[in-house]
Amino acid sequence: MELADLPLREDLRGRTPYGAPQLEVPVRLNTNENPYPPSDELVADVVAEVAEVAAELHRYPDRDAVALREDLAAYLSDSTGVPLTGANLWAANGSNEILQQILQAFGGPGRTALGFEPSYSMHPIIAAGTRTEWAPTPRRADFSLDTDKAAEIVADRRPDVVFVTSPNNPTGQSVPTEDLRGLVEAAPGMVVVDEAYAEFSSRPSAVHLLADYPDKLIVSRTMSKAFAFAGGRLGYLAAAPAVVDALQLVRLPYHLSALTQAAARASLRHAAETLGSVAKLAAERDRVAEALGGMGFDVVPSDANFVLFGWFEDARATWRSYLERGVLIRDVGVAGHLRVTVGTPEENDAFLAASKEVGR
Ligand code: PMP
């Protein structure tokens, strides 16, 4: 029996799942993780916290994750200077689940979500899963976002949800906060700024606009990238408390396990130390970009922990050449380009050595 034999929803037939290859190779630079593992102190703290909640695993977790949301609010307020409370925060299993809950509440059948492509490939997949019509809108040829044009398109198309990824995955550029205003003002519905890579960016967060657009703006974040907590699965958002009320209508009860909540809180206590790697990674990103440029590649300027580069006649074949040299990078489906995540200096050196051999 095969998938095609099942009574699957018609609109899911023929689709392919999200699938970054998970391969055992020496240098893994394909999913934009932080290459530095948690410190011994952090690991010990997570273990201690988890041991404590393990004694109560017969009970459901705090359904509203109140303590974790307060910790996230404290972190976000501290790092942005924008006062936020636990009522402004919501958390889920990765920001993918956050985005899914947003579309469950504000998208759905008969509704449309619009995004500026190329961008994060899960946005249209989550739209499909929630039966939200997807309206792809192109970026400029250099992958930057023309926010004036974007505002015009949004005013014309009137989508229920707009996604702006900043810094954008897989291209790396971020949008100046002030340029977002016109877009938010033009939008009749919700605007989701996906800030998964915000800690790597030199620009201020869109949370600065929350007070001005409480009925429209949602800022989505994750602990998977700069926070080095991808395996822990913790995404969150900042928005007006009423938006959080809306998401509670669609979230599954007890979606965030007691183990996840405990581990995330322990990890947040070590935020300063973990985020110490951000400056190092940003410097490595600039070194990698410059070295690639020096080798004659076209490099898209990046404000995140990855770099999109090209031009390749056959990006798939080049991706394979890297893999043969023990370096796993990402073919994101952008014509002529590949994306590399910034790793440790040693990993980046291995990638650059392979780049010299692979050529263009
Ligand atoms: N948004 C963007 C732009 C991403 O690149 C990613 C991860 N690749 C996510 C959201 C989701 O990450 P997570 O579910 O791990 O928070």
Per-residue H/E/C for 208-268: HHCCCCCCCEEEEEECCCCCCCHHHCCEEEECCHHHHHHHHCCCCCCCCCHHHHHHHHHHH
Distance CA 130, CA 274 (A): 35
pLDDT at 17: 85
CA dist., res. 271 & res. 229, Å (int): 11
- How far, in Å, is the centroid of ligand 1 from the Cα of 153? 25
Ligand 1 atom nearest 235 alpha carbon: 16
Provide the mean pLDDT of the chain. Answer: 96
Q: Range with the lowest mean pLDDT among 18-27, 185-194, 310-319?
A: 18-27
For ligand 1, the distance from its centroid to the CA atom of residue 112, given in whole angstroms, is 21
230 CA distance to ligand 1 centroid (A)? Answer: 9
Q: What is the pLDDT of residue 20?
A: 77
Amino acid at site 306: F
pLDDT of residue 277: 93
**Could you give the CA distance from residue 319 to residue 316 in angstroms, rounded to a whole number?**
5
pLDDT at position 360, please? Answer: 63
Average pLDDT over residues 106-134: 97
What separation in Å is there between the alpha carbon of 95 and the centre of ligand 1? 6
Residues 210-241 have pLDDT tens digits of: 999 999 999 999 999 999 999 999 999 999 99
The reported pLDDT for the residue numbered 29 is 97
At 123, list the tokens: 């946005």
* Structure confidence at residue 21 as a pLDDT band (50, 70, 90): confident
Percent of the chain with pLDDT over 70: 100
DSSP state of 198: G
The Cα-based distances of 167 to 163, 195, 203, 224, 246 in angstroms read 12, 7, 9, 15, 26
pLDDT band for 252, please (50, 70, 90 cuts): very high
Compute the distance from residue 260 Cα to the ligand 1 centre, in Å. 17
Name the residue of 29, 95, 163, 174 whose CB sits within 8 Å of the most ligand 1 atoms, as the mutation to test its pocket.
Answer: 95
Question: Looking at residue 236, what is its pLDDT?
Answer: 98
pLDDT digits (tens, 9 = 90+) for 44-63: 999 999 999 999 999 999 99
- Tell me what pLDDT residue 335 has: 95
Report pLDDT for 157.
97
What are the pLDDT digits (tens) for 180-209?
999 999 999 999 999 999 999 999 999 999
**Residue 359: band (very low, low, confident or very high) from pLDDT cuts 50, 70, 90:** confident
Q: Ligand 1 centroid vs 20 CA: distance in angstroms?
A: 12
What is the share, in percent, of the chain residues with pLDDT greater than 90?
A: 95
333 pLDDT more than 90: yes
- pLDDT for 15 equals 86
Ligand 1 probe mutation, 31, 103, 122, most atoms within 8 A of CB? 122
Mutational pocket test of ligand 1: of 224, 227, 306, the residue with most ligand atoms within 8 Å of the beta carbon = 224
- ipTM score above 0.90: yes
3-state secondary structure 42-100: HHHHHHHHHHHHHCCCCCCCCCCCHHHHHHHHHHHHHHHCCCCCHHHEEEECHHHHHHH
Question: CB within 6 Å of ligand 1 — which residues?
Answer: 32, 94-96, 120, 165, 169, 194, 196, 222, 224, 230, 235
What is residue 267's predicted lDDT score, i.e. its pLDDT?
97
pLDDT at 336 > cutoff 70:
yes
Q: Where residue 22 falls among pLDDT bands split at 50, 70, 90? A: confident
Q: Give the nearest ligand 1 atom to 170 CA.
A: 5
Taking CA atoms, 343 is separated from 31, 119, 201, 221, 306, in Å, by 11, 21, 17, 21, 9
Please determine, for residue 358, whether its predicted confidence score (pLDDT) is greater than 80.
Answer: yes
Token duo for residue 20:
């970054």
Task: Reply yes or no on whether the pLDDT at 23 is more than 90.
Answer: no
Q: Band the pLDDT of 258: cuts 50, 70, 90.
A: very high
